[in-house]
Chains A and B, each alone.
Chain A
């Protein structure tokens, strides 16, 4: 069975927020709510010796997902292909998943009274397509693929470019990998 994940090539990200808006466009998420994606922009050091890092953050698609564990209604669940998804009809708006996520990757939709987060565009995947943000990324900075297949583009990239997970010490085993960035720079996004 497939085990879908995402590789974010930070070397190609220019922080344009195309993916942030792409997600709202495709899923028709109105403005004013946090949405499923955000771009982190951190600058460290002192002028002129500094480093500036920009990269996107979304649901890490954890193999050991605390959002699934804490959900009292099984609204948050794991699909057979490993994707962490959410059935809004079952969500009672208790926000426990939002609190449990170490990556602040979920948000609460006040109007609908439900939690929401990225499910890698699972309905598109079911139709044989890629997640929309991956497809329309303005700089081709993301690669989607089956991590259980060592020959997939995503798996190859993780191997060859030494992909890292954000805060692996949290123990949730994310399936989103970053390449081209130091772990310490990545950590700055969730402090």
Chain B
């Protein structure tokens, strides 16, 4: 304890994805080993604070469950037989295979997917896009645009424009509405709308600081989340899962009917108000009470309070995951806009960074005829996204049916491809049709079992890392220790592979430093300066745009008439609803009451929480001991009716599948709802906890959901269904892959 470290290295946390601007970490090194971490007080985002994920960095690095050596499949696909090979063998084999597929079939037969582990719009993201485009393919197929951030953002952009989400300006708000569909917990980790240019980890602190100054906090969530505990929630509206759009529409109804909208803003900046006014008549608080289970008087009260409070902000879930996404994702920005809370202090504001880092992804070099063959390229959603990502549901279908063509190869960087998507069995079936899969990851996942080549990725602390920016602050993740075992920096591996495929001209001749230099160039700071800046990092000049508000000319620029679209002709022209409508979920008490007899309870699942990030980090003992078992929250009164005790294993069965989870009693959850959590499969060797299956009968909530009925435009997948429960025995554990250990 008293021992002083040999070195203290300033770096960035790996907990909420790497490649992004995360909390600042000071890593203590003794005898070449990373022994502990501390928060970096100079980091303007985290100011020395760390959440449990950051605190347990050492156990993430020195984890016996990590992938240690390159592996090659020797059995049938999915048979889980692998042998150790050298990096040279692995990369040469991969390069040859990819070149052969490109020559024999065409570049679009090669696909690339990344997970949440590497950040959005960070260096990894840029490099992998460039790698795929360099090959000549545009078939980027990742789950983010289907289950996470992307689909909701699409609607926000179509309604209120802007480069990205207009986010809650907590620092100046007097009323804070934390509106998490599906029961997200928010908090010290993620949970909420955020990207590279807003903060993630400072969110709870910002809310708490503001509450101390007298702001009021409203929680809209089927469960009372931690930020609302300890008497902080001034109001808690435990909305029935899947009915949020009806609630938002009823609020719009009240605000218009009572004349509480911002008449100046609506008159000057909004299109289609009269049509909206007419449209929302059907959503009276009394009607909506029947749908949402929120009393009409509470709906009126929250609508009035939001409209009348000048500085009021709304944070919504990053990933609503609803069939009824359109209703919710259009109603919220409309609500923000008509009440005059858009891009005004304390409302919902666009936070711009001082500059954006990046380099050319070579997207323009992909021939138009190849781009036209992107999966789902005919769909409005894919076209709107500039055909820069393909449609994954179309991809899965193409793999199974061979129509319009069957892709041959996939590269997976840090993605648990079938664990994240729906439904897992269908995806596994599709993936088996591939000729060649390369999986690069820190730990083995359910998906790596299906790969032909498995490559061990280094953690962020082992990489001479990437420059990142948050607002006007540049920080770099410095290397703390050399990579363990034979793990390698994924960025270096990508460069190496590109060179072996003959693309060295487009990849800095494999010069890693030259790549970093180009990435950071837009900031005007060099990589040497940034490395030398230590824990303090470098501040770049703020721009006028960053601190300006009411930037309507700019953010509405791409909207028809350069105005907020309360009535959306763009959507209408493309065959979708022009205004938000409550439609319900594929299975819920309102839309399918006939199912209640067999399936009497609602099921949904939370987003990430404090101890993990999606399916990451359940192998970390300090984190895992806080929540050992795959759980589903249940109201004790409901549990009693089924003879279920706290800690009992439950069988949870929907019309689509069955999973098992340990009952976690929580009186702060709606009694008609079971609240699961996604991402459970991994074992924890140090604590003797087994891996559980990710398919039917395992611990993956994604088997329960309706896969067929998706949001019509974005294909957003639902995480709402009806279930029945009973007490059961634990699922059989899955043996870890011995060859990998």
Give A contacts to B, CB under 8 Å: 10-18, 20-22, 24-28, 30-32, 43-48, 50-55, 123, 132, 135-140, 180-181
Decide yes or no: A32 and B55 within 8 Å by CB, A14-B188, A14-B229 being known contacts. no
For the A-B complex with A14-B188, A16-B52 known, give 16 more contacts whose Cβ atoms are closer than 8 Å. A10-B230, A12-B208, A18-B50, A18-B51, A24-B55, A25-B622, A28-B36, A32-B625, A46-B637, A47-B238, A47-B635, A135-B48, A138-B188, A138-B201, A139-B208, A180-B230
Measured between beta carbons, the chain B residues less than 8 angstroms from A135 are 38-39, 48
Expressed in whole angstroms, the Cα–Cα distance for A136 and B729 within the complex equals 40
CA distance A2 to B2 in the complex (A): 22
Chain A nearest CB from B201 CB (Å) reads 7
Counting chain A CB atoms within 10 Å of each CB, which of B52, B189, B669 scores highest? B52
Residue numbers in A under 8 Å from B226 (CB-CB): 14-16, 54
A52–B52 Cα gap in the complex (Å)?
21
Complex: A22 Cα to B624 Cα, angstroms:
14
Residue of B nearest to A124 (CB): B1
| Set of chain B residues within 8 Å of A139, measured between Cβ atoms | 49, 188, 204-205, 208
Task: Judge whether A11 and B667 touch: CB under 8 Å.
Answer: no
Does B505 interact with chain A (Cβ within 8 Å)?
A: no
CA distance A17 to B611 in the complex (A): 9
Partner of B52, one of A20, A30, A54, A181: A20
The answer for the CA separation of A15 and B230 in the assembled complex, in Å, is: 10
B610 within 8 A of partner (CB): yes
Write out the residue numbers on chain B whose beta carbons fall within 8 Å of the beta carbon of A52: 224, 228-230, 668
The answer to the question of B236 belonging to the interface, with a C-beta cut-off of 8 Å to chain A, is yes
Mask, B217-237, CB within 8 Å of A = 1, is: 000000010111111100010
Q: A31-B622, A52-B668, A137-B49 are in contact. Are A22 and B55 (CB under 8 A)?
A: yes
The answer to the question of B510 belonging to the interface, with a C-beta cut-off of 8 Å to chain A, is no
Cα-based distance from A51 to B635 in the complex (angstroms): 14
List 13 A-B residue pairs with CB atoms under 8 Å apart, sorted by A's residue number: A21-B626, A24-B56, A25-B58, A31-B621, A31-B622, A43-B666, A46-B667, A52-B224, A52-B668, A54-B229, A135-B39, A136-B48, A139-B205
Q: Bound state CA distance, A154 and B35, in angstroms?
A: 31
- B74 within 8 A of partner (CB): no
Give A22 to B236 CA distance when docked, in angstroms: 31
Residues of B close to A137: CB separation below 8 A: 49
Interface residues of B in 40-56 (CB under 8 A from A): 48-52, 55-56
User: Which residues from B are CB-within-8-Å of A138?
Assistant: 49-51, 188, 201, 204-205
B 60-95 contacts with A by CB, 8 A: none
**Separation of A140 and B224 alpha carbons in the complex (Å):** 22
- A132, B54: Cα distance in complex, Å: 14
Please name all residues of chain A whose beta carbon is closer than 8 Å to the beta carbon of B1 when the two chains form the complex.
27-28, 123
State which size class the interface on B falls in: 35 or more
Structural contact, A26 and B666, CB atoms closer than 8 A: no
Alpha-carbon distance A20/B687, docked complex (angstroms) = 17
Q: Are A32 and B686 in contact (CB under 8 A)?
A: yes
Name the distance in Å between B482's Cβ and chain A's nearest Cβ.
Answer: 21
Please list the residues of chain B having a beta carbon within 8 angstroms of any beta carbon in chain A.
1-2, 35-39, 48-52, 55-59, 187-189, 201, 204-205, 208, 211-212, 224, 226-232, 236, 238, 610-611, 621-626, 635, 637, 666-671, 686-687
**CB-based contact A14/B622 at 8 Å:** no
* A53 pairs with B622, CB closer than 8 A: no
Across the interface, do A47 and B667 meet the contact criterion of CB distance under 8 Å? yes
Q: Give the CA-CA distance A151 to B323 in the complex, in Å.
A: 58
List chain B residues, Cβ under 8 A from A51.
231
A14 to B637, CA, bound (A): 25
Interface residues of chain A: helix, strand, loop or mixed (majority): mixed
The distance in angstroms between the C-alpha atoms of A180 and B227, with both chains bound, is 14
Interface centre among B205, B230, B671 (most CB of A within 10 A): B230
Task: Contact check, B229 vs A18: say whether CB atoms are below 8 A apart.
Answer: no
Chain A-chain B contacts (Cβ-Cβ < 8 Å), number = 140
Q: How far is the CB of A18 from chain B (nearest CB, A)?
A: 5
Asked whether, in the complex, the Cβ of B35 is within 8 Å of the Cβ of A53, the reply is no
Complex partner residue of B224 from A30, A50, A123, A132, CB under 8 angstroms: A50
Give the contacting residue for A31; candidates B208, B625, B635, B666; CB below 8 A: B625
Choose among A14, A18, A28, A44 the residue that contacts B55 (Cβ–Cβ < 8 A): A18
Q: Find out whether the CB atom of A43 lies under 8 angstroms from the CB atom of B622.
A: no
Chain A residues within an 8 Å CB radius of B208: 11-12, 14, 139-140
How far is it, in angstroms, between the C-alpha of A28 and the C-alpha of B1 when the chains are bound?
8
Contact residues in A for B52 (Cβ distance below 8 Å): 16-18, 20-21
Quote the shortest CB–CB distance from B711 to chain A (angstroms): 30
Question: Chain B residues with Cβ under 8 A from A44's Cβ?
Answer: 667
- How far apart are the CA atoms of A54 and B4 in the complex, in Å? 35
Closest to B38 in A: A136
Q: Which residues on A sit within 8 Å (CB–CB) of B35?
A: 28
Residues of B within 8 A of A15 (CB): 226, 229
Q: Which of B58, B622, B670 contacts A47 (CB 8 A)?
A: B670
In the complex, are the beta carbons of B51 and A16 less than 8 A apart?
yes
In the assembled complex, the CB of A35 is this many whole angstroms from the nearest CB of chain B, namely 9
A11–B212 touching, CB < 8 Å:
yes
B608 CB to closest chain A CB (Å) equals 12
Chain B residues with CB under 8 Å of A46's CB are 637, 667
Would B626 and A54 count as touching, CB distance under 8 A? Answer: no
Q: Are B686's CB and A31's CB within 8 A? A: yes
Chain A residues near B236 (CB-CB < 8 A): 48
Given the known inter-chain contacts A21-B52, A25-B622, A32-B621, please indicate yes or no for A16 contacting B188, CB distance below 8 A: yes
Q: Are B38 and A140 in contact (CB under 8 A)?
A: no
In the bound assembly, the distance between CA atoms of A86 and B452 in angstroms comes to 54
C-alpha spacing A51/B621, complex, angstroms: 31
Closest to A48 in B: B238
* Complex Cα–Cα for A136 and B43 (A): 12
Evaluate contact between A25 and B224: CB separation under 8 angstroms: no
A14 to B686, CA, bound (A): 28
Cβ A17 vs Cβ B610 within 8 A: yes
Could you say which residues of chain B place their CB within 8 Å of the CB of A28? 1, 35-36
A24 to B35, CA, bound (A): 12
Are A140's CB and B49's CB within 8 A? Answer: yes
Bound-state CA distance A24–B37 (Å) is 11
Provide the residues of chain B in CB contact with A53, threshold 8 Å: 229-230
Cα separation A123 to B1 with both chains bound (whole Å): 8
User: Of all chain A residues, which has the CB nearest B670?
Assistant: A47
Of A10, A14, A50, which one neighbours B667 at CB under 8 angstroms?
Answer: A50
Q: Are B668 and A50 in contact (CB under 8 A)?
A: yes
CA distance A17 to B627 in the complex (A): 11
Listed residue (A45, A53, A138) with the most chain B CB atoms within 10 angstroms of its CB: A138
Report A-chain residues with C-beta under 8 Å of the C-beta of B670.
47
Using CB atoms, name the residue of chain A closest to B46.
A138
Q: Which 8 A-B pairs have the closest CB atoms?
A: A31-B621, A21-B55, A52-B229, A21-B52, A16-B188, A138-B188, A14-B226, A16-B610
A18 to B56, CA, bound (A): 9
CB of B673 to closest CB in A, whole Å: 10
User: Of the candidates A17, A21, A48, A140, which one forms a contact with B205 in the assembled complex, judged by CB atoms under 8 Å apart?
Assistant: A140
- Whether A25 lies near B36 (C-beta < 8 A) is yes
A54-B187 Cα distance, complex, nearest whole Å: 13
Once bound together, how far apart are the Cα atoms of A54 and B224, in whole Å? 12
